[in-house]
Structure 1
Amino acid sequence: MIKWNRSVIGGLAAAVLVMGWTVPGWGQVFGKNKVTRTRFEWSYIESAHFDIYFINGEERLARIAATMIEDAYEQISADLRHELSARVPVILYRSHNDFEETNVVLDLVSESTGGFTEVFKNRIVVPFEGSYKKLRHVLHHELTHAMQFDMLYGGILESLLTRQYMFRMPLWFAEGMAEYESVGWDTEGDMIMRDAVITGYLPPLQQLQGYLVYKGGQSFFRFIAQRYGSDRLAQIMAKLKKSKDVEKSYKAILGKGLEDLSKEWHKSLRRKYWPEIAARREPDELAKRLTDHKEEGAYLNRDPAFSPYGDKIAFLSDRSGYKNIYLMSAIDGKILKQLVKGEKQGEYEEMHWLRGGITWSPDGEWIAFVAKSSGGDVLYLHQVRGRGVKKYTFDLNALFSPAWSPDGKRIALVGIKGEVSDLYVAHLEDGSLERLTHDRYDESDPAWSPDGKRIAFASDRIPEPEPSAADLLTGSYDIYIIGSHGLGIGGQGKSAIRNPQSAILRRIAASPSDDRSPTWSPDGKRIAFASNRNGIYNLYIADVETDSVAALTNVLTGCYDPEWSPDGGKIAFTSFREGGWDIFVLRNPLEKLLKTMPAPTAWALEADTVRTVYGDLKETEYENCKVQAYRPKFSPDIVNAMVGYSSYAGFGGQAVVSVSDVMGNHRFSFNTDLYYSFEDSDYQLVYYYLRRRVNLGVSVFHNKDYYVTRNYDWFSDRVYGGGVMASLPISRFTRLDFNVLGMGIDRQTYGWNPEKKQTRLLLTGLSWINDTILWGQTGPVNGFRSIASLDHSPDIPFNSLSFNTLSLDARRYFRVGRNYTFVTRYAGGLSWGKDPQAFFLGGTKNWLSPNYRRTDVWEVENLYFAHSDAPLRGTDYYEVSGTKFALINAEFRFPLVRYLVMGWPLGITLGNISGVLFADVGGAWTEDEKFRAFRADESGLPSLVSLKAGYGFGARINLGIAILRFDMAWPIHERPLRTRYYYFSLGPEF
């Protein structure tokens, strides 16, 4: 994944932020939070081409990573015919939870992000998630990006000064190449492309979006390599380096543009996948569908878990936009209850949908699952009928896949500690943790036998007690059985493997393919599991005693997460179809076993399934590398400057310089606009310290601006001062901000009666911020966000302003259907003291060519310290003012135009235009005024007094570079009601 550092993309963002500190509410910014829970101590080792940074104690993991990435470099360098021009930093985290705390980029890192490469400093950042195979894949993928950036952008300073970074590769090109380089082709990619081709949602190459950017792009690069030769990749990249145009590069090398190549690619996919329709079956043809992701507006319905009586199924779904746990009927799929609301509070920040798992207590009163909380991974026990919750925490870096024992006293799970993933058993009575395996192989999906004496699980281990780096990458996932106390199990022979604790692990139905997600039959004689033995994940059933295996399904896309019902009469599973995941129930599985194994897919028979060669990996190559302690090393994020000269004003110039260390914990930004003299220039310096949980910031600034009002008054303001900021994130969704700002304003008026006026201010602010929203194309579509703030400015010498201000802004977004949202917003505030602040209402934010109702807003107390709130459509800017205010907005947002193609003379195409119906009502008043909402007019009808109100409709379109809004409003407070207001504005919806 590519990450464009927000602190760089925003070039002038620091300057804007500092300028924002000169207005009230300068700490009031919506947004979710990155929580730094651990103060990491770092070290690093140097390989031939990379600096591998690792958390102290994870030296062994770093040496393995160094071996992997150097091996990947040899292959990518040969493929692209390019060598790195500089050393590349590789930052390695010991778990995904730690990885999400990174400050290399300021964006939030989601659970689905496997790693990223930051563009401007070419830093590779990856987590270890228990699997060395996955670590190798992610390192190879991200190194491909680093090689791309090195080829196209060159060194840091060269790129920044020559603006090469303004060219961005299309995502299908960047991500597709990285996926193809790292794995060639794989089961997941084949499933997604087969589904997209057969069900008809595969767009042209240039229109790939979402996960198709990765897998569609990967498929296209594979197609190019197979049809035109693998050497063309290096030629295309070399051409792209010069042209900075993907279309021209393909035409120059292949003689065809992207449109023609896309058509060829589509045709080849149809020839490949359409014959599969006759050879395989849809999930609906062999099992009953219980969910429908398209109808529900969801992407995933996964992890089905039968209740002990078999009449209910608990499962994970994102049908609300958030990942929640639901309870449904096992008969018809009717939703009975929402058990857990995820991703809205600190207890359930992430629901681990990629490696989750839900399990029931034997009495059916509780479910157990693992979720990330504000303090790390937690094993939750959640009452089904009530609201009781129990929490278990362990000294592990990550937790996955819980499974409740038949006696109800223990839960098996997978945990990551250090550089290993192992199988554990948690004892619920005392909270103790027992370790069943202790090795460097990956474990997943534990399942208890019905008698509670054995645990089946999937692992990529091989019969080697001390695996090498190469061994960790060559083993396929098989199903193993272990005693629940690490005791030996019968079955000595070639299927038996002895672990370091001398427990016997019995391998079941071994194959060179990947076998995952075992589930026991109620009699304990069989195990059902998912396997890609034919190139597609299907369900199989193995006899525990004889090791014989029979196929249960032969589907087009794939079957995952099998779960055997307590009575043995059903198996629930998930399947990918039409771009999403659904849950099915197959009845009488033992009566429906296939007589023959499913035929292999075309790609399963090909030789390029894995392009990398693991045999040359030698972990000992970096065994003696010197471990060095990390010291902050600073380098520029952005350098942008220009200088000019005028015979009237002399020299002038602008500059933006942003600098940070490798980890991103220390960030400096300096911005200046030099003009005529030092006193007439603008300059700001900001420093952020992000290493601890409390984020700290310091700023000093000076700005000089000249104004001409609508009354042709001419004046200048010199604004200077400094501030400090502290932000404490409670969780991803809630934080507390504290700010102190000291500033002075020197106003000089010009004209017939010039005068000078000085104003001083010491402002402290405290804000409580909550944000759980989900974004759509033009604004939030679901969730809640609020800011409650208290500002205090004491009376200090030298003509100061003294006031206290309390304000609230709360917004609730109700998703009432797919792409339909109802929004309510409540805002209010009051100010008191010697110089109470003014609240101005009217118009809409970022109004293009606005109308102003008043002209006294240029006073110092109004220009710099007044609050301006909107929208209040049906009014002009600053139409309403007072020291107290209330504002209510209601909107219904809906799809207006999905796709519009215009003919002559415009010849343009527009899509995804959303509509809105709205109503706004608000008012402002002072301490001396009595609030009065209504009074009777001359005709006896109620008329608004202290309030203004409007209603109307509008449209929004995302233009890519900005969101354009149009509103037409009718004011209710004006008579006649025929008056209309038109608003064109920019920016997202509130």
Structure 2
Amino acid sequence: MKKIIIGLLLLSAYILPLEAQYFGRNKPNYEKFDFKVKASPTFDIYSYLDNPKLLDGIAARAEEWSRLHQLIFKDTLKPENPMVIYNNHADFQQTNTIQGRASIGTGGVTEAFKNRVIFPLSLTNAQDNHVIGHELVHAFQYHLIINGDSTNLKNLSNLPLWMVEGLAEYLSIGAKDAHTSMWLRDAVANDDFPTIKDLQNPKYFPYRYGQAFWAFVAGWKGDDIIRPLFEETAKYGFEEASKRVLGISVKELSKLWIANVQQHYKPYIDTEREKIPGRKLVGEKNAGSMNISPAISPNGKYIAFLSEKSIFSTDIFIADARNGKILGKISSAVRDGHLDDYNFFESTGTWAPDSERFAFVGVSKGDNVLVIKDALKGKTLETIRFPELPAFGNPAWSPDGKTIILSGLKEGQTDLYAYHFKSGKLEQLTDSPAAEIQPAFSHDGSTLVFASDALQMNGHTQTGDWHFNIAVMDMASGKIDYLPLFEGADNLNPL
């Protein structure tokens, strides 16, 4: 019997192109991992992480999420529920715990038969916390239905994807989420908000719209409605469950939901169709339907960006910054066969100060590598592997061209590293359990700005929000200051 797997895909627009990127490829297995087991009251945690303090923290988070989910599902996981943790995403992509291949867009999976929760550590504490909370919802969903008095494995097929994934998002993020709000506001502004039946269409991303649905229903009826509605849907399908549990038809429920969302978002939308500032340089007419991670060259002439214009792969293209004309490919998944993947969920590329070379992070033989290309010719100039730092992202080229800064993930801790071209050596700039990501140089190279959750390290709850602040490092002294901007918000992507 085929395994039923529900995975966490982080960014909606990346799903189809990323899956297409693996066309014709097999799952790579480059390394063997020496897993050891850490037992907690609920979980057997399989890990090869050499960071006992962090592992204790992960176990504590998992136990707290389990306690919170028990209150909703009124169910308890069996002791020794397996949890498998990989040190980074490149390692996770080699997993043999599931059938099929884990794409770069998969943040974690939970498989039904053994109820195993499997995920890689990421560059940020916030993402790790979210994935644990999200995947443990799936563990409770499986346990409830497969071991129910009147349900079994077959009943999982009655549950629509938007309901399953939406609930995992609602219970791990909450009712309010900026990303979901952007999706909903855009749908209302463009008169394209779906009915509940429309949610079967993959056009409507199940994670975001499913989360919004559960926020609406739970806001209306309270969280106590979650288990009976979920369980009855598994038994009879959603249409019948809506009548039995909510007392109304799906059609009536859709009307209430749509009216509620429109009432909330319309005050934030102009009466006339909104005009997007600026002009479109790259779009479906000259590239693909997904064009992301733009990086403009220092001389202002070129834009490097990722696109699935090639249909069967997501490639790095270069375009004229004045008119959007596509000038060629910097890197191609087909042409660059030595690369298994691009690590662009946690990275953007970076230009050399001469505007002729472009560097980005790839995945090769189970590790991240720094790839340097001739931007216009697409020729690989150098592929740099760091044995002491197998996972990294967010490269930033210094204005003098001598250094590239990286956010490196080592034993679950994200720090900033400097790669010096002349010596070929990697220098660690920070050493903190806080996540330090998205570095960018000042124009003269004297300071480095980046996003950090250091101010959130103290005083947060196990499942609480992790917010980012902008930090400024003096490159001469290494001194770091944190800017008091928008307290309680995520301050990201400094330029």
TM-score, normalised via structure 2 length: 0.88
Aligned counterparts of 1:128 and 1:377: Cα–Cα separation in 2: 14
Aligned counterparts of 2:3 and 2:274: Cα–Cα separation in 1: 38
Distance 1:344 1:61, change over 3 A: farther
Letter in 2 for 1:171: L
Aligned counterparts of 1:174 and 1:409: Cα–Cα separation in 2: 49
Distance 1:165 1:339, change over 3 A: same
Aligned position for 1:214 = 207
Q: Specify which structure has the bigger relative contact order, considering alpha-carbon pairs within 8 angstroms and separated by 6 or more residues.
A: 2
Distance 1:468 1:435, change over 3 A: farther
1:201 and 2:199 correspond: no
2:213 is paired with a residue whose SS is: helix
Task: Give, in angstroms, the shift of residue 200 of structure 1.
Answer: 3.3
Aligned position for 1:259 = 251
1:306 is matched with which residue: 293, 296, 305? 296
CA contact (8 A) 2:394 2:437 kept: yes
Q: Structure 2 stretches of 5 or more lacking a match?
A: 7-22
2:76 is paired with a residue whose SS is: coil
Relative to total residues, which structure has the larger helix share, 1 or 2?
2
CA contact (8 A) 1:3 1:116 kept: no
Aligned counterparts of 1:400 and 1:120: Cα–Cα separation in 2: 34
Deviations along 1:922-962, one digit per CA (max 9) or x if unpaired, are xxxxxxxxxxxxxxxxxxxxxxxxxxxxxxxxxxxxxxxxx
Q: Percent identity?
A: 32
1:4 and 2:9 correspond: no
Aligned position for 2:373 = 382
Task: Give, in angstroms, the shift of residue 165 of structure 1.
Answer: 5.7
Distance 1:94 1:153, change over 3 A: same
Aligned counterparts of 2:334 and 2:128: Cα–Cα separation in 1: 26
Task: Give, in angstroms, the shift of residue 405 of structure 1.
Answer: 0.6
1:269 is matched with which residue: 256, 261, 273? 261
Task: Give, in angstroms, the shift of residue 344 of structure 1.
Answer: 5.9
Matches within 5 A, 1:417-816: 417-462=410-455, 467=458, 470=461, 474-484=465-475, 487-488=477-478, 503-507=479-483, 509=485, 511-519=487-495
2:82 is paired with a residue whose SS is: strand
Matches within 5 A, 1:3-402: 4=4, 31-154=24-147, 164=154, 167-184=157-174, 185-208=176-199, 209=202, 212-240=205-233, 243-278=235-270, 282=274, 284=276, 286-293=277-284, 295=285, 298-321=288-311, 322-342=313-333, 345-386=336-377, 387-394=379-386, 395-402=388-395
Deviations along 1:158-209, one digit per CA (max 9) or x if unpaired, are 98xx764664421011101111011112111111121123223333223322
Aligned counterparts of 1:168 and 1:86: Cα–Cα separation in 2: 28
Task: Give, in angstroms, the shift of residue 72 of structure 1.
Answer: 0.8
Aligned counterparts of 2:481 and 2:462: Cα–Cα separation in 1: 18
Distance 1:350 1:473, change over 3 A: farther
Distance 1:287 1:136, change over 3 A: same
Aligned counterparts of 2:168 and 2:80: Cα–Cα separation in 1: 19
Distance 1:359 1:331, change over 3 A: same
Aligned counterparts of 2:193 and 2:335: Cα–Cα separation in 1: 33
Task: Give, in angstroms, the shift of residue 391 of structure 1.
Answer: 1.2
CA contact (8 A) 1:458 1:480 kept: yes
Distance 1:306 1:268, change over 3 A: same
1:411 is paired with a residue whose SS is: strand
Distance 1:396 1:106, change over 3 A: same
Task: Give, in angstroms, the shift of residue 402 of structure 1.
Answer: 0.8
CA contact (8 A) 1:175 1:214 kept: yes
Distance 1:210 1:70, change over 3 A: farther
Aligned position for 1:608 = none
Matches within 5 A, 1:897-908: none
CA contact (8 A) 2:94 2:366 kept: no
Distance 1:429 1:211, change over 3 A: farther
Task: Give, in angstroms, the shift of residue 210 of structure 1.
Answer: 5.5
Aligned counterparts of 2:485 and 2:460: Cα–Cα separation in 1: 26
Task: Give, in angstroms, the shift of residue 444 of structure 1.
Answer: 1.5
2:193 is paired with a residue whose SS is: coil
Aligned counterparts of 1:125 and 1:479: Cα–Cα separation in 2: 32
Distance 1:210 1:124, change over 3 A: farther
Task: Give, in angstroms, the shift of residue 299 of structure 1.
Answer: 3.8
Aligned position for 1:762 = none
Aligned counterparts of 1:438 and 1:279: Cα–Cα separation in 2: 51
Aligned counterparts of 1:289 and 1:206: Cα–Cα separation in 2: 33
Aligned counterparts of 1:469 and 1:123: Cα–Cα separation in 2: 28
1:97 is paired with a residue whose SS is: helix
Distance 1:351 1:3, change over 3 A: farther
CA contact (8 A) 1:462 1:471 kept: no
Task: Give, in angstroms, the shift of residue 297 of structure 1.
Answer: 6.8
Aligned counterparts of 2:217 and 2:302: Cα–Cα separation in 1: 48
1:347 is paired with a residue whose SS is: coil
Q: Structure 1 stretches of 5 or more lacking a match?
A: 7-29, 489-502, 520-990
Deviations along 1:446-484, one digit per CA (max 9) or x if unpaired, are 1111111111111111176xx577489544211111123
CA contact (8 A) 1:329 1:335 kept: yes
Letter in 1 for 2:360: F
Distance 1:154 1:383, change over 3 A: same
Aligned counterparts of 1:62 and 1:119: Cα–Cα separation in 2: 24
Letter in 2 for 1:306: I
CA contact (8 A) 1:197 1:273 kept: yes
Letter in 2 for 1:308: P
Letter in 1 for 2:491: D
CA RMSD of aligned residues (A): 2.7
Letter in 1 for 2:47: F
Aligned counterparts of 1:229 and 1:474: Cα–Cα separation in 2: 22
Aligned counterparts of 2:328 and 2:24: Cα–Cα separation in 1: 30
Task: Give, in angstroms, the shift of residue 283 of structure 1.
Answer: 6.3
CA contact (8 A) 2:373 2:382 kept: yes
Letter in 1 for 2:381: V
Aligned counterparts of 2:294 and 2:231: Cα–Cα separation in 1: 49
1:445 is paired with a residue whose SS is: strand
Aligned counterparts of 2:125 and 2:3: Cα–Cα separation in 1: 23
Aligned counterparts of 2:402 and 2:334: Cα–Cα separation in 1: 29
1:275 is paired with a residue whose SS is: helix
Aligned counterparts of 1:418 and 1:343: Cα–Cα separation in 2: 32
Aligned counterparts of 2:272 and 2:370: Cα–Cα separation in 1: 40
Deviations along 1:948-988, one digit per CA (max 9) or x if unpaired, are xxxxxxxxxxxxxxxxxxxxxxxxxxxxxxxxxxxxxxxxx
Letter in 1 for 2:197: Q
TM-score, normalised via structure 1 length: 0.45
Deviations along 1:897-941, one digit per CA (max 9) or x if unpaired, are xxxxxxxxxxxxxxxxxxxxxxxxxxxxxxxxxxxxxxxxxxxxx
Deviations along 1:326-371, one digit per CA (max 9) or x if unpaired, are 2212222111222211366443322223222121111222111111
Which 10-residue stretch deviates more, 79-88 or 405-414?
79-88
Alignment size in residue pairs: 471
Relative to total residues, which structure has the larger strand share, 1 or 2?
1
CA contact (8 A) 1:85 1:154 kept: no
Letter in 1 for 2:490: D
Aligned counterparts of 1:227 and 1:373: Cα–Cα separation in 2: 49
Distance 1:183 1:111, change over 3 A: same
